[in-house]
Amino acid sequence: MAISSTGNKSLDNISNSYQSTDKEKTKKAEALGKDSFLTMLVAQLQNQDPLNPMDGTDFSAQLAQFSQLEQLINLNDSMESLAKSYAEKSEGDVVGYIGKQVTGNVDTMNVDKGTVSGGFYNIARPADIMVTITDADGKTVKTLFQGQQTAGSHTISWDGTDNQGKAVEDGSYKYSIMANAGDGFAELPSSVTGKVDGVTYNNGKPYLVVQGVLLDPKSLTSVINQIDGNGNGNGMLDSALSYIGKTVTSDSPVVLVEDGLVSGKEFTFTLDTPKDVTLKVYDSSDRVVRTITLPASNTVGGQNKVEWNGVSDSGSKVSDGLYYYTTQTNSGYAKTPVSGEVSGIKYVNNSQYLVMKDSGRLVSASTLTAIN
């Protein structure tokens, strides 16, 4: 933009010395910046009444205002550069997660040139699984019926097509998990736990690669350093420690057998009315190790308790490790809620569990249904 004082060389020199040659600054010309301010000042000088010229004091004040404006603009540019630098550094910090064990909530799959990043979910007991995939507008694009799945961790296989078989556009898609373990479908929190194998970028945003799943660093619920041979973690985020001293509830209790001793011998389950119940204890490989049958005459409406001494159906002691149980009636599975104060954190098989103070039962933070 050329600024001319129509013959006044002094004003021409002032105006030309402040003309911006920076393309990025030119883009900001829509706002009232240095160039616009100087244009107005020159126009004011050009059109002043020669019989009543501008007072020198007023002119000096306007030049001072111009100087302040320039300083503010330069300060704003500096702050923008600082913010950009900080953002780049923050993204670089995600590399520090590589090699660490993390747990995070995940509900997004990304489609890039037809390739779909995997989804993930965990279930504590066998259940029928249904997956609903939605686009950015919340519209359902695909429903996947997974059928009966065993307890444990599972990945979601989606070919990137909608319900009509057409390929969807590249982008991010959210998914929700519905599980039916015998008492109706209920939404299941989806989380992934594992070692961070690397960092990848999608649409300029960094994601952690955990078990082939892309995990947003903002969704992390816990981070621990690599586990040593004794299963001891070197560190963790306060998010896990913050549960200690609080009363929590979970429908997916885990039983720990250690040195032949069962942590919390009483299994609890809830019934609406007295019913015949078949309680089954499973090991980490989903094998039934003990079956306990209770007639309706031995159950009540409300909370029921059954003791297990760590002995299998064959009459021998089970091996040390993690176990879970289900309680089935003629009308489906009964709920198995457990509540208690968290007294500590236990590491088993490179995973962390909250320890119930009174019952000794273990629960995963991702299965909590209430926190007091």
pLDDT tens-digit readout, 232-258: 444 443 455 677 788 888 877 888 888
The Cα–Cα gap between 214 and 102 comes to 12
Query: CB-based contacts of 73: which residues, under 8 Å, 6+ apart?
Result: 33, 34
Q: What's CA 309's distance to the chain center, in Å? A: 38
pLDDT tens-digit readout, 95-147: 777 877 777 777 788 888 878 877 777 777 788 889 999 988 888 999 988 88
> Do the domains at 101-224 and 243-371 have one common CATH topology?
yes
pLDDT tens-digit readout, 45-96: 677 666 666 665 566 676 667 667 677 777 776 666 655 544 444 444 677 7
Whats the size of the chain, residue-wise? 372
Q: Return the closest-CA partner of residue 275 out of 315, 211, 327.
A: 327
Burial bucket for residue 85 (CB in 10 Å: 0-12, 13-18, 19+): exposed
Q: Is the pLDDT of residue 36 over 90?
A: no
Burial bucket for residue 10 (CB in 10 Å: 0-12, 13-18, 19+): exposed
Task: Write down the domain spans for the chain.
Answer: 9-93, 101-224, 243-371
- Check: CB of residue 330 under 8 Å from CB of residue 278: no
- For the whole prediction, is pTM greater than 0.85? no
* pLDDT bracket for residue 25 (50, 70, 90): very low
- What CATH fold (topology level) applies to the domain 101-224? Immunoglobulin-like (2.60.40)
The Cα–Cα gap between 359 and 165 comes to 50
User: What is the model's pLDDT at position 257?
Assistant: 87
Q: Does domain 243-371 have CATH number 2.60.40.4070?
A: yes
Q: Return the ∠ at Cα 217 (arms to 202 and 138), rounded to 5°.
A: 65
Helices and strands, counts by H and E, the chain:
5, 26
Burial bucket for residue 315 (CB in 10 Å: 0-12, 13-18, 19+): exposed
- Check: CB of residue 341 under 8 Å from CB of residue 247: yes
The Cα–Cα gap between 298 and 313 comes to 20
- The enclosing H or E element of 177 equals strand 171-180
Phi, psi of 105 (to 5 degrees): -80, 135
Find tokens 């107005």 and name the residue.
40
- The enclosing H or E element of 198 equals strand 191-202
Find tokens 């939404």 and name the residue.
187
Q: What does each C-alpha distance from 270 to 37, 123, 267, 337 come to in angstroms? A: 76, 19, 11, 7
Helix (H, G, I), strand (E, B) or coil at 13: helix
